[in-house]
Amino acid sequence: MTKLSVNINKIATIRNARGGVSPSVLDAAISCQRFGADGITIHPRPDERHITRKDVHDIKPIIITEYNIEGYPSVDFIKMVIDVKPEQVTLVPDGPNVITSCAGWDTIKFQGYLKDIITEFKENGIRTSIFVDPNLEMIEGAKLCGTDRIELYTEDYATQYSTNKEKAIFPYVLCAKKATELGLGINAGHDLSLENLAYFAKEIPNLAEVSIGHALISDALYLGLENTIQMYKRLL
C-alpha cells in the first residue's frame, strides 16, 4: 500500500500566527502517527514562517514511523538534516521567498550540484528524494544525480483533474514507469486531495509514498484529524 506522510507545516503556521506553543506541532505529529499516518513531513524555510529549526530537532525523538524533511539544500539546511538524520530528505528547488513549491528540479542543468549533495546525504545514511516535474528527461536526469527516489510534483495533475483526469494522469504514468525501469522509488505530492487522490494512486504504478499537508489539514478542520487521516488512508 502507498504510504501517507502528513505534512504538518500548517499546524506551525497557526501556532506562529498567535505566538506561543499552541497548537503544538509535537502533539500534532504524535497524533497523526497514532491516527494512522505512515510518516511525518516538514518543510522548514529560512524565515521560519511555519516550521522552526527548533521544531526540526524536537520532532525527531517522537517519530515512530518515518521522518521526511523537505527543503532547498542551502549549506544550513544540509547541516541541519545531517545533524537530525531523518529517514528521508526531499530536495526542492524553491528559494527563500517562494510561498510554496511551484516547480521541480532541472536535473540536467543542476546534475553536478545535486549529485554532490545527494552523495553527502547518502553517506550519512539518509534516503534521498528530489522534486521533479512529470518530464521523462527530468526522470532520467534524476537517476544520473544518484537519488534513491523522485517526488512527482502533482500540481498540474490536480489542476486538470476535474476537466480531464485521463489527460491529467498520462504524463505521470509515463514518468512512473520510466522511474521504475531506472530503479528509482516514486513519491508524489502537491495539491493531492480527497477529490483526486484515489485515481492518482490507482493509476500510478509502484507509488511508494504521498506527502499531503494543506488539503489534509484543511479537511481536518471540518472532519476531525483522526477521521481525515483515515479517509485519506482508505483512498490509498
Which residue is catalytic, options 66, 70, 151, 209? 70
DSSP-derived letter for residue 107 is T
Cis-peptide into 23, omega within 30 deg: yes
**Neighbouring C-alpha atoms within 13 Å toward the C-beta of 158:** 16
Distance between CA 11 and CA 28 in Å, rounded? 7
Residue 70 annotated in active site:
yes
Residue 203 annotated in active site:
no
Please answer whether residues 200 and 188 qualify as being in contact, where contact means their C-beta atoms are separated by less than 8 angstroms. Answer: yes
**Neighbouring C-alpha atoms within 13 Å toward the C-beta of 50:** 20
Residue 190 annotated in active site:
yes
Reading the block at residue 161, the C-alpha cell is: 483533474
Which residue is catalytic, options 43, 50, 151, 209? 43
Reading the block at residue 236, the C-alpha cell is: 490509498
Q: How many other CB atoms are there within 10 angstroms of residue 187's CB atom?
A: 26
Given the DSSP bridges, would you call strands 207-212 and 3-7 parallel, antiparallel or unpaired?
A: parallel
Q: Which of 51, 89, 53, 48 is nearest to 71 (CA)?
A: 89
Which residue is catalytic, options 50, 66, 151, 190? 190
Positions marked catalytic: 43, 70, 190
